[in-house]
Amino acid sequence: MKGDKIPDQHHIARYCKPTHAPDGQIQATAFMLRLGEENLSINCLELLNCSGRENEVAQLQTIYATKLSVGARAKIAVLNVGEVRNHVLDESPDRRNLKVLHDPQSEDPSHSGIYNLREDDELIAELIL
Amino acid sequence: MPEIDLLTYDRWLVASRKASTAYGNRFLSEDPTGEEPYSGAWNLERGQYQQKRPYSLTPAIGQGTIDDLISGYFKVKDPFTQADLVETEEEQLQEIIFKLRTSPYISCREVADRLLTLFNDAKEDDPMSIGIVLGSLRNFYNFFQLYTDLKCPSISLTPDNNIYISWRAKKNRVFSVHFLPSADVRFVIFKPNDRHPEKQIRLSGTATADILKETVLPYGVWSWISE
C-alpha cells in the first residue's frame, strides 16, 4: 500500500542507466536525484512475489522494458534496505534517516522510493554505493 | 556497508561494487559494437562524426570561399528552433571533446573516449536530450587543462547529464567531483582517519573548479589522484 515502510530485511533494486555505470561499474550517480525529483525510484524485490533472485530480476527486466528505454549496458543494483539505511544513518555527517516507502504504480506494483534525499546529495549517494 | 551479495548466473553479466550487486543480461547487452547506437552517434575519429547535415570546422582565413564560411547552420532556412539549438550545442560538445582528445597538456588520454561513450549512451537513452550539459563539459575541460597531471578518473553522468568523476584508492579513499554548468563544482572526500583507523573522514563542499586543488589541499587528495 502506498506509503508503507519497506521492512529493513527486504531488498531493493535500482535501475542504473549506462551513463551511471560506465565500464560496467555502478557509480554514485545512480543514486542521485534528478532536479525536481521527490524520491529515488526503486523496486522492492520481495513485493514482486517471485521465487528466487533470478526470477525477481527477470521480472524486473520485464517491468523495465515496459517503462524505460533500456540501455545495452544498463545494470541493476540490488541493495538490502536495512544495511543501506543504517550505513547512511551512521556514517552521514547529518545522520540522515532515509525512508524506503512503497509507491506502487498501476503497471508496477512493487515500485517504491527512497525518500529524504536531496538534489545536492553527492555524499549520501557515495555512501549508498 | 551493505553486504556484498554476488550472484552469478550463466546468463547474467555481473558487475559489482561493495554495496551493490549489478546484473545485466544478454537481453540488456545486445552488443552494439560496429553499429551506431543511434542515428546521430559520433565515432571516435575526427572527421567520422555521423553528421545529419553539413558540418565543417571554421575555415582558416584565406581558405575557401564565402560560401564555405557560411556553411552549416547558417544555411538553415527555417526559423531557429529548439532542434537547431541542440545541434549547435552538440557541435560545441564535439569541439570540446576533440580538444580534450588532442590537447598535449592532458595526461589522461582516455577522457575523450569515455565522454563520447557517455554522450552516445545518453542520446540512446533519450535522443532529444543534449547528451552532456555543455556548461558542465566546459567546466570539466577547464579543470583538466588546469591540472594536467591527473590520473584517469571514472566518469559518469548525473541524472541531469552533468559530468561526475571519481577516483578511488585503497583504504576506502574516494574523491569525487560534480561539474556543475557554472564554474562551480561540488566535491566529496572519503579518507582514512589516521588517528582512529576504524573510522573514516567524510566531507563534501562546493568550490570553483580553478581553486579545487587549494580547497582540498588539507586532505591530501592530490597526492593520490595525480601522477
Find the closest chain B residue to A128 by CA distance.
Answer: B19
Residue B121 and residue A17 in contact, taking contact as beta carbons nearer than 8 Å: yes
Q: Check CB contact of A97 with chain B, cutoff 8 Å.
A: no
How far apart (Å, rounded) are the C-alpha atoms in residues B7 and A78? 11
Element (H, E) at A78: strand A75-80
pLDDT band at B94 (very low <50, low <70, confident <90, very high): confident
Element (H, E) at A112: strand A111-115
Nearest CA-CA distance, residue A119 and chain B, Å: 10
| Residue B61 or B127, more confident | B127
Reported ipTM exceeds the 0.90 cut: yes
Q: Report the half-sphere exposure of B160 (CA within 13 A, side-chain side).
A: 16
Q: Is B5 exposed, middle or buried (0-12, 13-18, 19+ CB in 10 A)?
A: middle
How far apart (Å, rounded) are the C-alpha atoms in residues B218 and B68? 53
Report the mean per-residue pLDDT for chain B: 72
Nearest CA-CA distance, residue B120 and chain A, Å: 9
Q: Is the pLDDT of residue B13 over 60?
A: no
With a CB-CB cutoff of 8 Å, which residues 94-153 of chain B face chain A?
A: 114, 117-118, 121-122, 124-126
Query: Degrees (nearest 5) of the Cα angle B221, B222, B227?
Result: 135
Distances A63 to A42, A68, B110, B122 between C-alpha atoms, Å: 12, 8, 35, 21
With an 8 Å Cβ cutoff, are A122 and B178 in contact? yes
Chain B residues in contact with A42 by the CB 8 A cut-off are none
Q: What is the pTM of this model?
A: 0.77
Q: Check CB contact of B29 with chain A, cutoff 8 Å.
A: yes
How far apart (Å, rounded) are the C-alpha atoms in residues A127 and B187? 14
Which range among A67-71, B35-39, B153-157 shows the weakest confidence by mean pLDDT? B35-39
Tens digits of per-residue pLDDT, A78-122? 999 999 999 999 999 999 999 999 999 988 999 999 999 988 899
Q: In what order do the strands lie in the sheet with B184-192?
A: B154-157, B163-169, B173-179, B184-192, B200-208
Tens digits of per-residue pLDDT, A36-62? 999 999 999 999 999 889 999 999 999
Q: Is the pLDDT of residue B84 over 80?
A: no
Query: Degrees (nearest 5) of the Cα angle B188, B191, B197?
Result: 150
Chain A residues in contact with B18 by the CB 8 A cut-off are 129
Which range among B58-72, B120-134, B137-151 shows the weakest confidence by mean pLDDT? B58-72
Nearest CA-CA distance, residue A44 and chain B, Å: 14
Q: Which of B12, B32, B154 sits opposite A27 (nearest CB)?
A: B154
Q: Which of A25, A57, A70 sits opposite B23 (nearest CB)?
A: A57
Q: Which of B5, B118, B202 sits opposite A123 (nearest CB)?
A: B202
The cell numbers describing B49, all together, are 562524426
With an 8 Å Cβ cutoff, are A34 and B13 in contact? no
Q: Check CB contact of A10 with chain B, cutoff 8 Å.
A: no
Average pLDDT over residues A73-80: 93
Residue B216 and residue B206 in contact, taking contact as beta carbons nearer than 8 Å: no
Secondary structure E strands in chain B: 12-15, 21-25, 154-157, 163-169, 173-179, 184-192, 200-208
Contacts of A115 (CB under 8 A, 6+ apart): A38, A39, A98, A99, A100, A101
The residue extents of the domains of chain A are 11-128
Contacts of A22 (CB under 8 A, 6+ apart): B114, B117, B118, B154, B155, B156
Nearest CA-CA distance, residue B50 and chain A, Å: 20
Residue B200 and residue A91 in contact, taking contact as beta carbons nearer than 8 Å: yes
Q: Check CB contact of A59 with chain B, cutoff 8 Å.
A: no
Chain A residues in contact with B124 by the CB 8 A cut-off are 18, 69, 71-72
DSSP of B127-142? TTS-SS-HHHHHHHHH
